[in-house]
Amino acid sequence: MAFRLKLVPDQTSINFFRLQKYTFGLSAVLMVLSVILLLTMGLNFGIDFRGGTTIRTESTTDFVVSDYRDALTGLEIGDVSITEVFDPSFGEDRHVAQVRIGASEGTEAMTPDQIQTVEAALTEVDPNVSFVAVESVGPKVSSELIRTAVYAVLAASLGILFYIWIRFEWQFAVGGVVAIVHDVLLTMGIFAALQLRFDLSTIAALLTILGYSINDTVVVFDRLRENLIKFKNMPLVEVMNLSVNETLSRTIMTAVTTSIALFALFALGGDVIRGFVFAMLWGVLVGTYSSIYVAKNIVLWLGVKRDWSKPDPDKLPDQFTEQP
Amino acid sequence: MLDIPLWKRVLILGVVVIGLIWAMPNLFYGRVEAHNDALAAAEQAGFATEEQQAAIDGWPSWLPSGLVNLGLDLRGGAHLLAEVHVEDVYKSRMDSLWPELRRTLAEERDVIGAVRRVESPQDQLQVQIENADQMARAVEVARELSSPVVSISGAGQSDLEFTASGDVLTVQLSDAEKAATDDRTIQQSLEIVRRRVDEVGTREPTIQRQGADRILIQVPGIGSAAELKELIGTTAQLTFNPVVGTGSNPDAPAGLGNVVLPSQEDPDFYYTLEEAPVVTGEELTDASPSFDQNGQPAVEFRFNPSGARKFGAYTSANIGQPFAIVLDSEVISAPTIRDAITTGTGIISGSMNVDESTQLAVLLRAGALPAELTFLEERTIGPELGQDSIDAGKIASIVAIIGVVAYVVASYGIFGVFASIAVITNVILILAFMSGIGATLTLPGIAGIVLTVGTAVDANVIIYERIREELRRGKRVATSIDTGFREAMSAIIDANVTTFIAGLVMFFLGSGPVKGFAVTLTIGLVTSVFTAIYLTRLMIVAWLSRRRPKQLVL
């Protein structure tokens, strides 16, 4: 008998709807909480969306953030924020900081003179400092980038919605999209809560989460459709439970392999993309959760037609009474 | 499902082998890159220096030498997004139109009366005439100055619009002409920027038009965006010089005050020119493709008043002589002066087609940037940071692959090995595909590949879980595998199409990091479906026919 690592037993018959009040309630609470966080704390927008300049400094000697700040206060530039960057790979002689300068009124990108002034001032307090990256985005571009980002998320959602609608039923599409909204909201919520930098690459992460989450959801839906045809007279809740149980080992398996890969990147990929990878890791978590606990609940509430042998859109859903 | 015909087997393995061959140069990145650069340089120069030859020999030429382009964030360099102020050009067009208009209207002085220019918006020319009741005649006369728009979309339309109110005649560029002008302005700006950047001779700069009035400039290996801006900001030198003689000897004695310059068209042809130019590009206000009186493609150019004066004086004194147009110490062309050109506008005609006339018009104006550029976005990434990112990305990818492989093998045994081979092949295919189309790999792109490693297993997992289910129902091994593959197909296709949609949206709407990520994600999807479905099936079928297992523990 060969050894097989199994995180999920072969036959599970978990009743995923037994606690649906709690799981769905938890989702709802978290979504509301995310909205509140977004409204109160707001997102920590990177320069892509807010305009401004970031300078990444590297120094061979340790520095004090307040010294850097003092060096820049008298320069009459926009508001300055300085954060020290930590990474296990840096070692003793690498001290990295991220200096962010807000966009000043009326200018597009920062002038080279301004950047030179900033660099000179920092070199004065820390002779060993070098500037490994300077990025500057004007307000004109940043407002466009925001717009494009919103369009991208909307277009992707609509495209996916449309595809599911064609392949399945409208109830499934609604369920899928609610799951998407859930995942996007929760991801933005955690970014607001932890004040992580939210920039263009975060949008890429969001879109990936969309893809991943819906991918998960579709696999469950696919099995659900199959079982609906197979077990015509089984109550909808049971068909759903059966479908989730049948696909559970795959759902967990994929979540684990993806997380292993992402975690390697999170730990070893350097600090430049850490925020990006964090968003995706978090997305795998909420995406997996939402495909098990969110998408199907919506389908359950909306009901689906049970007779898949011939299309009959006028038939009333008959499953509202089947709540356990 | 289980008997794969021979042609299919050959095809599947063929794709994998080709993928391996195409991806291989990336293992020897430095050598191949040196080889490619040296080859390009030698081709341009027409011969190879010893170092170049050594570099060329460093990589066998019969092997593919396509490489994955490294994005700026991995290689270091500068990125600029510039906006071209296309409306600058309208003003200079109006300014240069004024002398002509004044002259034309002056000929009708006894009807129209005196004329004078009045304050107007920048893109208009407003002229007040004395006898307002003769406005109709003034418009009629002025209309002679307009010419048809030279562009595909604006064909048949006039380039100037005349409106009269009271005693003021207003002239402005028509919308069709504005569109054509904008297009030219951007083309010229692109051309100049390209020339400027090429002078530094860094490798493969990206200079593209973005949207209506923007230019994206990415130059790997340049110190900083500030440096790049200085480079672009300087104007090229365009001059018109008298021709003293021609020949094929670059070292010919030029004589006092003369200079020998090569022809741009023909590298073995040299012109001896007077060093002092008659007019310079600074005084050129416009050049556009048009047609001469015989309907042949030509280039029309305009000087500002001072340039027009000098040009007129020289041409009337030198009819029948060649007149060289020199750009950056190369002679673009040396047309013969047919007659005196005193209006400040002239036509360069020769044996050229429409493309060439357009190109020459662009070059003519490529002397100075036609309009001001402002920079909306600047990014400088140091090469050290890029190297750090590559190193970190490499290590992370390898660790990710090892981790995933270990987990999959622990879960599925021999079938896990098959899935792992498929995943590794998949990464190789992504790199091969990117090398083939010359796509750019960025840091988010690496993340995309790592994510693909995680999700590529998914298709195999769906299949294997199906097979497990079938086995649990007590089906025979071969039947289980067959059913597993067949039943899993719809789920795999559906699941991947949704991600594919997200990837495409990112690719078309995204810029920079988003686009880079979308490229690898989308390519990875396609390759992962191929490896998971076809390659794994091939391996499993081979294993089945050799082992013929009575039982399968999955």
Is B450's CB within 8 Å of A261's CB?
yes
Distance CA(B443)–CA(B70), nearest Å, equals: 9
Locus of tokens 């030509």: B298
pLDDT in tens, A283-317: 899 988 888 888 888 888 887 766 655 544 444 44
Is B81's CB within 8 Å of A5's CB?
no
Per the model's pLDDT, the better-predicted residue between B368 and A300 turns out to be A300
pLDDT in tens, B72-99: 888 888 888 888 888 877 877 787 788 7
Residue B160 CB-half CA count within 13 A: 22
The per-residue pLDDT for B429 is 92
B402 pLDDT exceeds 90?
yes
Which of the 8 DSSP states describes residue B27?
G
Distance CA(A156)–CA(A145), nearest Å, equals: 16
pLDDT band at B407 (very low <50, low <70, confident <90, very high): very high
The per-residue pLDDT for A189 is 92
The per-residue pLDDT for B420 is 92
Beta-carbon neighbour count of residue A32 at 10 Å?
12
Per the model's pLDDT, the better-predicted residue between B281 and B172 turns out to be B172
The per-residue pLDDT for A313 is 47
**b/e string for A134-159 if b means 16 or more Cβ within 10 A?**
bbbbbbbbbeebbebbeebbebbbeb
Please give the mean pLDDT across all residues of chain A. 81
DSSP string, B338-352: -S---SSEEEEESS-
B406 pLDDT exceeds 90?
yes
Q: Which of B395, B411, B447 sits opposite A5 (nearest CB)?
A: B411
Please give the mean pLDDT across all residues of chain B. 82
pLDDT band at A80 (very low <50, low <70, confident <90, very high): confident
pLDDT band at A260 (very low <50, low <70, confident <90, very high): very high
The per-residue pLDDT for A34 is 92
Burial class (CB in 10 A: 0-12, 13-18, 19+), B68: buried
B252 pLDDT exceeds 80?
no
B331 pLDDT exceeds 50?
yes
Question: Is residue A177 less than 8 Å (CB to CB) from chain B?
Answer: no
**Segment 234-253 of chain A within 8 Å of chain B by CB:** 246-247, 249-250, 253
pLDDT band at A321 (very low <50, low <70, confident <90, very high): very low
The per-residue pLDDT for B1 is 58
Q: Which of B385, B404, B491 sits opposite A132 (nearest CB)?
A: B385
The per-residue pLDDT for B367 is 61
Question: Is residue A218 less than 8 Å (CB to CB) from chain B?
Answer: yes
Mean pLDDT, residues B466-491 taken together: 87
The residue of chain A nearest to residue B492, with distances taken between CA atoms, is A219
Taken as a whole, chain A contains a residue count of 324
B258 pLDDT exceeds 70?
yes
The per-residue pLDDT for B314 is 87
A177 phi and psi angles, rounded to 5 deg: -70, -35
pLDDT in tens, A201-210: 888 888 778 8
Angle, nearest 10°, between helix axes A274-293 and A295-302? Answer: 30
Mean pLDDT, residues B196-201 taken together: 67
pLDDT band at A322 (very low <50, low <70, confident <90, very high): very low
Mean pLDDT, residues B5-14 taken together: 89
Return the sign of the alpha-carbon dihedral for residues A76, A80, A86, A89.
negative
A10 pLDDT exceeds 80?
no
A323 pLDDT exceeds 50?
no
The per-residue pLDDT for B362 is 62
The per-residue pLDDT for B55 is 81
A318 pLDDT exceeds 50?
no
Is B511's CB within 8 Å of A145's CB?
yes
Is B385's CB within 8 Å of A145's CB?
no
Is A2's CB within 8 Å of B513's CB?
no
The per-residue pLDDT for B425 is 92
- Enumerate the residues of chain B whose CB falls inside 8 A of the CB of residue A260: 400, 403-404, 407, 454
The per-residue pLDDT for B176 is 84
What percentage of residues in chain B have a pLDDT greater than 90?
A: 7
Token pair of A36 as six digits: 């509140």
pLDDT in tens, A134-181: 888 887 888 888 888 888 888 888 888 888 888 888 888 888 888 888
**b/e string for B2-22 if b means 16 or more Cβ within 10 A?**
eeeeeeeeeebeebbeebeeb
What percentage of residues in chain B have a pLDDT greater than 70?
A: 92
Token pair of B112 as six digits: 């129209």
Distance CA(B496)–CA(A309), nearest Å, equals: 26
Q: Which of B384, B395, B408 sits opposite A257 (nearest CB)?
A: B408
Q: Which of B73, B389, B499, B511 to mutate to test the interface with A (most CBs of A within 10 A)?
A: B499
Catalogue the E-assigned strands of B44-112: 69-70, 77-84
B325 pLDDT exceeds 90?
no
- Enumerate the residues of chain A whose CB falls inside 8 A of the CB of residue B381: 132-133
The per-residue pLDDT for A308 is 56
Beta bridge partners of B387: none
A44 pLDDT exceeds 70?
yes
pLDDT in tens, B297-311: 888 888 888 888 888
CB A72 within 8 A of CB A122: yes
Q: Which of B509, B522, B526, B553 to mutate to test the interface with A (most CBs of A within 10 A)?
A: B509
The per-residue pLDDT for B154 is 61
Burial class (CB in 10 A: 0-12, 13-18, 19+), A68: buried
CB B190 within 8 A of CB B209: yes
A313 contact partners, CB below 8 Å, separation of at least 6: A305
- Enumerate the residues of chain B whose CB falls inside 8 A of the CB of residue A218: 491, 494-495, 498
Distance CA(B231)–CA(B373), nearest Å, equals: 13
Return the sign of the alpha-carbon dihedral for residues B404, A281, A275, B219.
positive
Work out the minimum CA distance from B66 to partner chain A, whole angstroms: 26
Per the model's pLDDT, the better-predicted residue between B361 and B437 turns out to be B437
pLDDT in tens, B532-544: 888 998 999 888 8
The per-residue pLDDT for B17 is 92
A11 pLDDT exceeds 80?
no
pLDDT band at A12 (very low <50, low <70, confident <90, very high): confident
Distance CA(B476)–CA(B428), nearest Å, equals: 35
Is A257's CB within 8 Å of B443's CB?
no
The per-residue pLDDT for A263 is 92
CB B383 within 8 A of CB B72: no
Q: Which of A109, A159, A164 sits opposite B375 (nearest CB)?
A: A109
Beta-carbon neighbour count of residue A116 at 10 Å?
12
The per-residue pLDDT for B235 is 44
**Segment 139-168 of chain A within 8 Å of chain B by CB:** 140-141, 145, 148, 151-152, 155-156, 159-160, 163-164, 167
B180 pLDDT exceeds 60?
yes
Taken as a whole, chain B contains a residue count of 554
A34 contact partners, CB below 8 Å, separation of at least 6: A185, A186, A188, A189, A190, A192
Q: Which of B73, B449, B458, B507 to mutate to test the interface with A (most CBs of A within 10 A)?
A: B458
Work out the minimum CA distance from B509 to partner chain A, whole angstroms: 6
Work out the minimum CA distance from B172 to partner chain A, whole angstroms: 29
Mean pLDDT, residues B178-186 taken together: 86
Q: Which of A136, A223, A257 sits opposite B377 (nearest CB)?
A: A136
Flag the least confident range among B67-71, B101-105, B225-229, B468-472: B225-229
B6 contact partners, CB below 8 Å, separation of at least 6: none
The residue of chain B nearest to residue A6, with distances taken between CA atoms, is B411
Locus of tokens 């607001």: A192
The residue of chain B nearest to residue A150, with distances taken between CA atoms, is B509
Residue ranges of alpha helices (H) inside B318-413 are: 354-365, 383-412
